[in-house]
Amino acid sequence: MSLRRSAAIVLRQFYLMRGSAARVVPLFAWVGVDIVLWGFMSRYLNALTSAGLNFVVTLLGAVLLWDFFTRVMQGVTMTFFEDVWSRNFLNLFASPLRISEYLGGLIMSSIVTSLAGLVFMLIIASGVFQLPFFGYGVVLIPALLILFFFGIALGIAATGMVLRMGPAAEWFVWPIPALLAPFAAVYYPLTTLPRWMQYASRIIPPSYVFQNIRGLVSGGTVSWASLAFGAGLALLYLLIASWFFSRMYRHGVRTGLIARYSSETLN
Amino acid sequence: MYGDNAAVDHVSFEVTSNEIVGLLGPNGAGKTTTINMLLGVLQPSAGDISIAGVDLTRDRSVALGCTNFAAVYAQLPGNLTVYQNLRVFGLIYGVKQVATRIHEVLREFDLIRFRDTKCGVLSSGEQTRVSLAKAMLNRPRLLLLDEPTASLDPSTAHDVRAHIREFASSGSGGVLWTSHNMYEVQEVCDRVLFLSRGKILLEGDPRRLPEERGKASLEELFIAVAREPLSLEISEQ
């Protein structure tokens, strides 16, 4: 595997962003809006309740982590979509670029953009709403890693789906985080959910993050075993997603879809 | 095979260094399918492809590192400048001293003044020259050109042909060239392969082949291949 070739994908993304406010602003705008909205909501809820519950720590912290996960996933898919929109697949896939190198480039781009979004959210959440983010302690390390790996896994799986189904399938990708959020128990404890949704949550790694952080904030302890399980699950999904993308790519090469990708008549 | 249809069948040929081979045939004959297979974006149902002695299926990345291509349907991303595109593909193809090499190909294809222009705002002819510059970046052992002069004016097309001839004669590599311009094919190609319905029907020197087949010109031979391939197959037997 050549890092140089993966770096070429990152460089391409850097060139695109450097000259385009339309690409840079969304990296910060949506997460900024979310933090401001939920920041005021948390303050309002704090004012309503007198039992010493701090919604800034529980709710705003959860929103921040969920937005980080969303940015990670979209970091992968947005880099991939640049190749869809510019009809660049033939140039890329008829080159020495390996699939692992291409995916490596997508992941590296996502690391940069999601970290930029995370820092921006932290500045607003800490500066304006006094979120003591680092007060969560060392649990942040596995929490961020689980969200990162699962975000990457979903991003790769989503790109594999678009590779297989064609450019129009892009519209299946955008709602994925919103569809998962109820099961991930971002805003409420898992016990709030009906039984069947609680079972579904067990296979969604972020649910282990949010359950543990919520438990910690309410004075409980962190279950490292459940976090380890969540991390293992996220890594398993990452492997499955990479295998899925590779399979979709091989299908495209076998059937000629890659060569004719820009056409809409893929199915 | 596309489903039950054989797009190409028993196509076997070799392109040697210093040689420009023309791949000719009517629309749908299998030229682009053949090129796509050579580029590794379409897997043949059977058979082997070897580029510079490297098996494409077994060692895809190394084999494709020895090749490059330009095609009218594969322009470089329009949202990057000429230099940015060449830089990105220079890294992908592992070009050494990439900045120097980019400058060389920009000069070779008269693109210096467009260095910092976004490819999307260039004319189709200029975009084709950028694609050709990218195709030359890694000094490929096998250069694949799918109708490279289709959108060029006669003067620019003439210059491009000269560049490709120079590339081949310098011993850098061989060229597989598709074109519907028979004048161009006769001027540039050392050898031609006529494809019809996915099979190689004829092969030979484009300057002698028409006479050998009782035709007045290469164009007339092309029309015969397109309209009456069976008669040529029979005369071949």
Structural domain ending residue among the three candidates B120, B139, B158: B139
DSSP secondary structure code for residue A60 in this structure? I
d(CA A66, CA A71): 9
Range name among A9-18, A94-103, B66-75, B134-143 with the lowest pLDDT average: B66-75
Q: Is residue A31 part of a domain?
A: yes
- For residue B189, count CB atoms less than 10 angstroms from its CB and return exposed for 0-12, middle for 13-18, buried for 19 or more: buried
Q: Is residue B71 part of a domain?
A: no
CB-CB under 8 Å, B2 with A11: no
User: Is B61 touching A (CB cutoff 8 A)?
Assistant: yes
Mean pLDDT, range A26-30, rounded to an integer: 93
Residues B51 and B150 in one domain: yes
Q: Please, what is the Cα angle at A39 between A37 and A45, to 5 degrees?
A: 105
Q: How confident is the model at residue B80, as a pLDDT?
A: 95
pLDDT at residue A2 is higher than 90: no
- Cα distance from A87 to chain B (closest Cα, Å)? 7
pLDDT digits (tens, 9 = 90+) for A128-141: 999 998 988 999 99
Neighbours of A219 (CB within 10 A): 6
Under 8 Å CB pairs connecting chains A and B tally to 90
User: Is B64 touching A (CB cutoff 8 A)?
Assistant: yes
Q: How confident is the model at residue A151, as a pLDDT?
A: 97
Chain B interface mutation, best of A95, A247, A249, highest count of B Cβ atoms under 10 Å: A95
- Cα distance from B101 to chain A (closest Cα, Å)? 16
Task: Decide: B8 and B162 in contact? Cβ < 8 Å.
Answer: no
Partner-chain residue, chosen from A8, A98, A259, that has the shortest CB–CB distance to B91: A8
pLDDT digits (tens, 9 = 90+) for B85-111: 999 999 999 999 999 999 999 999 999
Query: Domain limits at A22?
Result: 3-255
**ipTM of the assembly?**
0.90
Q: Is residue A103 part of a domain?
A: yes
Q: Is residue B217 part of a domain?
A: yes
Partner-chain residue, chosen from B79, B84, B92, that has the shortest CB–CB distance to A95: B92
pLDDT digits (tens, 9 = 90+) for A239-261: 999 999 999 999 999 988 888 77
HSE (CB half, 13 Å, CA atoms) of B47? 16
Query: Domain limits at B177?
Result: 1-66+141-237
Residues B216 and B232 in one domain: yes
Q: How many domains does chain A have?
A: 1
Q: Is residue B72 part of a domain?
A: no
Task: Decide: B38 and B14 in contact? Cβ < 8 Å.
Answer: no
Q: Is residue A267 part of a domain?
A: no
Task: Decide: A5 and B92 in contact? Cβ < 8 Å.
Answer: yes
Q: Is residue A239 part of a domain?
A: yes
Task: Decide: A133 and A64 in contact? Cβ < 8 Å.
Answer: yes
Q: What is chain B's pLDDT, residue by residue, as a tens digit (237 residues)?
A: 666 677 788 889 999 999 999 999 888 888 889 999 999 999 988 899 999 999 999 999 999 999 999 998 888 999 999 999 999 999 999 999 999 999 999 999 999 999 999 999 999 889 999 999 999 999 999 999 998 888 788 888 888 899 899 999 987 799 999 988 898 999 999 999 999 888 888 899 999 988 888 888 888 888 888 887 666 654 554
